[in-house]
Structure 1
Amino acid sequence: MSQHKVVLLLGSNIGDKKNNLDHALERLKEVGDILKNSEYLTSEPVEFVSSNNFCNIASLIFTHLSPIQLLNFIKKIEIEMGRLNDSKISGSYTDRIIDIDIVTYDALKFSSERLEIPHTKHLFERDFSRILLKDFI
């Protein structure tokens, strides 16, 4: 079974944010090995207004899952942790207990209705992501 190198970004701006991230990372160990995590970074919400700042972390994992299998597992984690609104479906951002994005998956370039790899907003447009990803990409 081949292993794929994947960079993820995780964020939370509701409840015990750091604990939410740690819980999601623990769940991700079910489908891969975590090789490296960034430091935690606090950032203001991007593309929506909220008084709740985010706690973010980047993670480098190896997984045997395909991109869509990994996305499905991530969505399962988000729903189980209480995330109610998916921005891809609703078209807008809101406060969230957990958000997990696949930033890169090997050197793959992939685009579908549900998933874009690489995640260009995180690579090029968002300051907090560039800070977190500087040692990963």
Structure 2
Amino acid sequence: MPTAYIALGSNLDDPRHQLLEAIRRMRLGGLQVYSIAPFMETRPVGFASEHLFLNSVVAVHTTATPEELLAQLQAIEREMGRRHKSHDGIYSDRVIDLDILLYDQSVVTTLELTIPHPRMCERAFVLQPLSDIAPELTIPTTGATVAQLLGALPS
């Protein structure tokens, strides 16, 4: 059964509750969540906000294809009150954000989906929680491990 790594983030309406609720909904939807990274508080990246983010990464086993998994995660975002994704790289506060980081060692490039996530290797708020649960995992497009990528980020 394929393994996917999913990033979670929230900075509105009790972020801890939002992350736990998203994980609960993933499980209800049939995803076998088998590892949850410790939640970490971070400043917003790419926009200014008075609200700090809470971020995590979960590892799941799934029978869904990458496209089906994307649809499932987008449905959870909508059900939880997410109104829109970023547009043209402009980010804003959000109740919940769910992103597929990796799906086994697959490389997927479609209009709707890019795996590995295109900016994951630049983001400490993604790499740190991913490293907490899978430090030796190799990113297929770089050949580097999560721990190596995290160590290469500027302080």
TM surpasses 0.5:
yes
Partner of 1:127: 124
2:124 partner amino acid: D
> What is the aligned partner in structure 2 of residue 19 from structure 1?
17
The letter of the residue matching 1:132 is P
Residues 42 and 53 in structure 1, CA contact (< 8 A), matched pair in contact too: yes
When normalised by structure 1's length, the TM-score is: 0.92
Match of 2:38 in 1: 39
User: Which has the larger Rg?
Assistant: 2
SS in 1 for 2:73: helix
Q: CA deviation at 1:48?
A: 1.1
Q: Which of 13, 19, 26 is the matching residue for 1:28?
A: 26
Q: If the length of structure 2 is used for normalisation, what is the TM-score?
A: 0.82
Contact 1:44-1:54 at 8 Å conserved across structures? yes
Aligned to 1:114: 112
- 2 CA distance for matches of 1:34 and 1:118? 19
Displacement of 1:120 in angstroms is 3.1
Q: Which runs of 4+ in 1 moved over 3 A?
A: none
Structure 1: stretches of 5+ with no match in the other structure: none
- What 5-or-longer segments of structure 2 have no aligned partner? 138-155
Q: CA RMSD in A?
A: 0.9
> Could you say which residue in structure 2 is the equivalent of 1:70?
69
In structure 1, the partner of 2:48 is 49
CA shift at 1:31, angstroms?
2.3
Aligned-partner Cα distance in 1 for 2:91–2:111: 17
How many residue pairs were aligned? 132
